[in-house]
Amino acid sequence: MFRGVRITPPFFELGPKAYTYGDQMLEIAIRADQVGMECGVQVIIDPQYVDIPIIAPRMRGALVFAPHIDSIEPGRGQGSVLAEAVRAAGAAGAVLNHVERRLSRLELARSMQRADEAGLATMVCADDAADAVEVAAMSPNIIVVEAPESIGTGAGAGASEAMIASVDAAIWRVDPDVLILHGGGIGSAEDVYEVIRGGAQGTGSSSGVFCAVDPLQTVEAMIRAVREAWEARKPASVEGIERAR
């Protein structure tokens, strides 16, 4: 786990994948950063690689992550993504093992090591509780728990309060310092509210924002919903999370 980046719950990850880029992505990132600062929500944005040096200098509070890195070291590797390069471009971390960019356990371990050597935090994706527990043993900064079949559906994360608590407890038994994002299918501010209100430290959205009629309005509503749901939680619930971590 790279400890040079401080991420405090609640947090919201904005993943544009290949839905948008350039000026439109910058506009959405600036709005997300502004609302995150206003609401006290840590925003994490993982744009196209070429947009990292455009977006990162404009962020006041949001962290920019690369959508992936490879395990290569400086040298040969045409077409590969070098950890040091994205760090120099302004990235604070990297997303690894997304269902659309799956890694073997060996390659994941190597990529996480390279991220740590380059000074990058790691956000590692897992399909379910069992997968997340295995990932927790590798000590990433953040684990993203999302069922592959729910990604891109806009149908909501579908995780009950009991399920979130059970998954989190299993992960924290392995690594009490890891942060946990529950996502997959987050299509509206209501979905965001439900998963955070249900106990999640963080959530995120891709198609829910970037396929919306008004992405700017949608991302603002989602980030505000994170704060509203966090405030609505019982104090004991929030304190329990801090004790578990």
**CATH at 218:** 3.20.20.70
Q: Domain for residue 1, yes or no?
A: no
What CA–CA distance (Å, rounded) separates 30 from 35? 9
Q: Which band of pLDDT confidence, cut at 50, 70 and 90, is reported for residue 154?
A: very low
Give percent above pLDDT 70 in the chain: 90
Q: Domain for residue 181, yes or no?
A: yes
Q: Which band of pLDDT confidence, cut at 50, 70 and 90, is reported for residue 162?
A: confident
Over residues 219-241, the mean pLDDT reads 81
Q: Domain for residue 5, yes or no?
A: no
Q: Which residue did the predictor score with more confidence, 220 or 233?
A: 220
CA 96 to chain centre: 10
Catalytic residues: 98, 146
The mean of the pLDDT values for the chain is 91
Whether residue 72 is predicted with pLDDT greater than 60 in this model: the reply is: yes
- Which position has the token pair 């993982």? 46
Q: Domain for residue 4, yes or no?
A: no
Q: Which band of pLDDT confidence, cut at 50, 70 and 90, is reported for residue 206?
A: very high
- Which position has the token pair 């455009």? 54
Domain that holds residue 163: 11-244
Confidence (pLDDT) at 1: 83
Q: Report the domain count for the chain.
A: 1
Distances, alpha carbon 143 to alpha carbons 71, 118, 126, 133, in Å: 19, 19, 7, 9
Confidence (pLDDT) at 4: 84
Q: Domain for residue 41, yes or no?
A: yes
Q: What is the pTM of this model?
A: 0.91
Whether residue 164 is predicted with pLDDT greater than 90 in this model: the reply is: yes
Q: Domain for residue 52, yes or no?
A: yes
Q: Which band of pLDDT confidence, cut at 50, 70 and 90, is reported for residue 239?
A: very low
Cα torsion at 97, 98, 99, 103 (round to 10°)? Answer: -20
Are 87 and 118 spatial neighbours (Cβ–Cβ below 8 Å)?
yes
Confidence (pLDDT) at 244: 42
